[in-house]
């Protein structure tokens, strides 16, 4: 009996541990379950040719016309774009695609997804989770492939959330609707501010999920909330996106990540950094080329408070980046630093894909401390010399 009850309690213990463990399991960084839409539905993928989905898309909840499309599939003579693998989904008018995910309440997450448009009309997609909702414009084509990767950040309000993609469009042609593929999430953290640098995440190493096998980088659309940003610390304050690039596919000045500025003045990233009024600072950064055959010249406009200066990319020798410096005197306790590309660059090989200068290693550091000390020492020395001159002559 005792042995039985000991065994029973042990089993209870084990079950409770298992239960506790299972409730703690949260979505891991990376692809959502069937986030690439390559898992076949119960009755197989629909035969080539469009049509209503006859069985559910595994792991997804759908509402309205959500179709699985196949690579190579044509519609009205137009080849449908499947971003990765052999399958993707298309959302019809007002259709929705959702997945319930386990997350950590109060944390910031970023969702990365591929999207392609099917017709030339205005297309956009709405992404929502918790009280967060964002409309992503798919009208602007940033590259010639016909699809792109986008990242959006959100703060979750509970441990269980539903991530929803919705085609808000009401096209005359109901088969015109965005195609989605490769949906991943990543829990973000805000890096600590370095001791000698007022810029948070100035090396851009913390950012959204990137797929190792995708060479297009990730577009960061407009985001005005510095607290909830796919690029912690930074905001994209323009109406066009900037591109987050990785060292696997691009030339990156430092570490594994950097930002490529696109669309000229229409692609601005900025950050408010803590400063001491009347103190002198240096804004330094690396300016480089992404190694994506971008047509020169490359140049950025850099801002720090009321200072603005243009910097042209003129590398020496084989270097792919150079260091730049903008000095400024802080006027307030917070100073805005910002960057945009001066030119509207495209690639030399396809003349359509947008590209631009790359920035990295952004630092703001105080220069007045040492200057003041040196100035005081010099003043002191001058005073002493004057005193000795007056006394001894």
Residue in 275, 106, 128, 271 with CA at minimum distance from that of residue 200: 271
Q: What is the 3-state secondary structure (H, E, C) of 86-109?
A: CEEEEECCCCEEEEEEECCCCCEE
- Cβ distance 103 to 186 under 8 Å? no
The one among 27, 32, 36, 66 contacting Ca ion by CB under 5 A: 36
360 near Ca ion, judged by CB under 5 A: yes
The one among 67, 96, 161, 181 contacting Ca ion by CB under 5 A: 181
85 near Ca ion, judged by CB under 5 A: yes
The one among 67, 96, 148, 203 contacting Ca ion by CB under 5 A: 203
Interatomic CA distance for residues 8 and 237, integer angstroms: 61
The residue (of 146 and 307) whose beta carbon lies closer to Ca ion is 146
In the complex, what is the shortest distance from the CB of residue 327 to Ca ion, in angstroms, rounded to a whole number?
23
Interatomic CA distance for residues 189 and 206, integer angstroms: 7
- Sole residue written with tokens 């000991």: 6
237 near Ca ion, judged by CB under 5 A: no
Using alpha carbons, list the distances in angstroms from residue 236 to 49, 54, 232, 239.
Answer: 40, 41, 11, 8
41 near Ca ion, judged by CB under 5 A: no
- Cβ distance 105 to 125 under 8 Å? no
84 near Ca ion, judged by CB under 5 A: yes
40 near Ca ion, judged by CB under 5 A: no
In the complex, what is the shortest distance from the CB of residue 374 to Ca ion, in angstroms, rounded to a whole number?
32
- Sole window of 17-25, 37-45, 295-303, 313-321 interacting with Ca ion (rule: CB under 5 A): 37-45
- Cβ distance 333 to 342 under 8 Å? no
- Sole window of 22-30, 63-71, 136-144, 174-182 interacting with Ca ion (rule: CB under 5 A): 174-182
The residue (of 123 and 260) whose beta carbon lies closer to Ca ion is 260
Give, rounded to a whole angstrom, the gap between the first and last alpha carbons of the chain: 110
- Sole window of 46-54, 76-84, 277-285, 370-378 interacting with Ca ion (rule: CB under 5 A): 76-84
The residue (of 254 and 274) whose beta carbon lies closer to Ca ion is 254
Site for Ca ion in 248-277 (CB under 5 A): 254-255, 257-258
Instruction: Find all residues with CB under 8 Å of 224, minimum gap 6, and list them.
Output: 235, 237
- Sole window of 26-34, 70-78, 87-95, 106-114 interacting with Ca ion (rule: CB under 5 A): 87-95
- Sole window of 113-121, 143-151, 204-212, 294-302 interacting with Ca ion (rule: CB under 5 A): 204-212
- Cβ distance 384 to 297 under 8 Å? no
Interatomic CA distance for residues 368 and 361, integer angstroms: 21
For the beta carbon of residue 97, count every other beta carbon within 10 angstroms: 23
Please give the residue ranges that form the binding site for Ca ion (CB under 5 A): 36-37, 84-85, 87-88, 181, 203-204, 254-255, 257-258, 360
């Amino acid at each position: 009996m005792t042995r039985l009850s000991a065994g029973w309690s042990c089993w209870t213990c084990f079950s409770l541990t298992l239960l506790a463990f299972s409730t703690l399991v949260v979505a891991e960084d990376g692809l959502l379950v069937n986030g690439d839409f390559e898992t076949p539905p119960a009755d197989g993928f629909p035969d080539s040719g469009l049509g209503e989905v006859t069985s559910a898309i595994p792991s997804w909840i759908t509402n309205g016309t959500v179709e699985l499309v196949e690579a190579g599939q044509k519609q009205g003579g137009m080849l449908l774009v499947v971003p990765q693998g052999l399958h993707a989904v298309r959302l019809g008018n007002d259709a929705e695609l959702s997945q319930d995910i386990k997350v950590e309440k109060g944390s910031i997450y970023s969702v990365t997804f591929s999207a392609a448009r099917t017709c030339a009309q205005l297309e956009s997609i709405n992404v929502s989770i918790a009280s967060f909702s964002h409309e992503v414009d798919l009208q602007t084509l940033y590259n010639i492939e016909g699809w792109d990767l986008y990242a959006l950040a959100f703060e979750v309000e509970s441990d269980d959330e539903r991530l929803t993609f919705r085609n808000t469009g009401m096209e005359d042609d109901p088969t015109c609707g965005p195609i989605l593929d490769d949906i991943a999430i990543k829990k973000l953290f805000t890096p600590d501010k370095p001791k000698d640098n007022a810029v948070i995440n100035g090396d851009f190493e913390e950012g959204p999920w990137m797929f190792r096998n995708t060479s297009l980088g990730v577009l960061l659309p407009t985001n005005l909330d510095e607290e909830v940003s796919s690029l912690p610390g930074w905001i994209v304050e323009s109406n066009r996106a900037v591109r987050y690039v990785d060292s696997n596919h691009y030339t990156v000045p430092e570490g594994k990540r950097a930002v490529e500025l696109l669309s000229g003045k229409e692609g601005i990233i900025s950050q408010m950094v803590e400063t001491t009024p009347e103190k002198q600072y240096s804004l330094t950064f690396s300016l480089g080329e992404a190694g994506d055959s971008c047509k020169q010249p490359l140049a950025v406009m850099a801002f720090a408070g009321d200072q603005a200066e243009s910097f042209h990319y003129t590398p020496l020798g084989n270097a792919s980046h150079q260091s730049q410096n903008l000095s400024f005197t802080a006027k307030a306790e917070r100073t805005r630093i910002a960057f945009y590309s001066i030119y509207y660059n495209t690639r030399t090989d396809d003349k359509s894909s947008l590209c631009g200068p790359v920035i990295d290693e952004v630092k703001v550091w105080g220069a007045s401390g040492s200057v003041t000390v040196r100035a005081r020492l010099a003043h002191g020395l001058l005073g002493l010399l004057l005193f000795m001159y007056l006394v001894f002559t």
